[in-house]
Amino acid sequence: MGSPHSIAREHYSNIEVKREIAEFCKGRWVAVHCTDEGGGLIFRRYLAERPLVIEKVEDLPALFERLGGRLRSIYATANKYRVIKDIGDVSDPENISLCTPTWDIDSTLSNWRETVRVAGRIIKILEGEGIRESVYLKWSGNGCHVHIHEEAISGETLKRANPLDLAYAMVEYVRRRLEAEMVEELASWGVRVENKIDPGRVFTCPLSLHRTLDVVCVCMKPQELDEFSPEWINPEKFRHNMDWRNFKKGEADKLALKAFEMIGSYPIYRRRRTRKTRKLDEQIIEWLKKE
């Protein structure tokens, strides 16, 4: 492999990579890691005081050049927004149109077999809730994300609560079930499953490079999980399934409504007047260090 900059330039010039990133990012608030002259990482969510967006294939090479060719990793929010023009748009809960339920499996690449087992258990729980066609996974580097496609929640169900609240409740409900079933295994393997759904949470984009490892984030469908090996995330010959786009409308409604009834809305909305939190960007940077 070449230098980090040459690896990134070659990778992000791949038309498949550009198409997948643009498709996933459309409607989402984007964040990036860039490298500075000393090789350090800089986290950015804005350009010219506007939220970063990638809406079409041509936006990625343009962004790469605007960042001086130092783009390394690309992330996008779990939330999809009706409009993203200025800072106010991404801070308005009423502007959220959809939210992608996401289970963050925090592990290490050397622990990948145990990570696969945990992801498999989450998939089994989702299958038990009738969710099959709308599930996909992303191997992000050290760990894995299990996603339900945001379109699997019907418009009728979205009228019942904010999309962020529904996604948060779904992730928390399944996470608690998983921990109850696998508490000993999770502890012995050193694997954590976390609910990272919040108003500005970002997750690694499909086919993004990892911020420090020379690996690429690939998607797979549940039936492929048992075949996974770290060879899939090699930037020079990655294996990636574009069927992450597939979903069945309404497939996640039952779980969304049940989880929302049991868990309720995202906590900060319930404690907005009293809770003291660090700046959102500080929390995100801390989380990304664990990726």
pLDDT in tens, 186-203: 999 999 999 999 999 999
pLDDT of residue 281: 52
Tell me, rounded to whole angstroms, the distance of Cα 213 from its chain centroid: 18
What contacts 236, CB < 8 A, 6 or more positions away? 1
What contacts 182, CB < 8 A, 6 or more positions away? 118, 121
> Shortest CA distance to 101 belongs to which of 74, 73, 129?
129
Could you list the beta-strand ranges (E) of 78-172: 79-81, 96-99, 102-106, 135-139, 144-148
Q: C-alpha distances in angstroms, 94 versus 11, 75, 107, 114, 121?
A: 36, 22, 34, 39, 34
Q: Could you tell me the pTM of the whole model?
A: 0.90
B/e letters for 45-61, b = 16+ CB within 10 Å, e = fewer, are: beeeeebbbbeeeebbe
- In this structure, are residues 128 and 62 in contact, taking their beta carbons and an 8 Å threshold? no
Check if CATH label 3.30.230.30 holds for domain 4-288. Answer: no
Q: What is the pLDDT along the chain (291 residues), one digit of tens a residue?
A: 567 778 899 999 999 999 999 999 999 999 999 998 888 999 999 998 899 999 999 999 999 999 999 999 999 999 999 999 999 999 999 999 999 999 999 999 999 999 999 999 999 999 999 999 999 999 999 999 999 999 999 999 999 999 999 999 999 999 999 999 999 999 999 999 999 999 999 999 999 999 999 999 999 999 999 999 999 999 999 999 999 999 999 999 999 999 999 999 998 755 443 344 455 455 545 555 555
Give one DSSP letter per residue of 83-109, joined into a string: --SSHHHHT-GGGEEEE--EEEEE--G
The predicted-structure confidence for 221-276, as pLDDT tens digits, reads as follows 999 999 999 999 999 999 999 999 999 999 999 999 999 999 999 987 554 433 44
Q: Which residues does residue 209 pair with via DSSP β-bridges, in sequence order?
A: 216
Domain parsing of the chain, residue ranges: 4-288
pLDDT of residue 285: 55
pLDDT of residue 48: 87
Question: Tokens for 68?
Answer: 């001086």
Q: C-alpha distances in angstroms, 281 versus 6, 72, 163, 247, 284?
A: 28, 18, 21, 31, 5
Report which DSSP code applies to 142.
S
Give the pairing type, strands 71-77 and 79-81.
Answer: unpaired
pLDDT of residue 6: 82
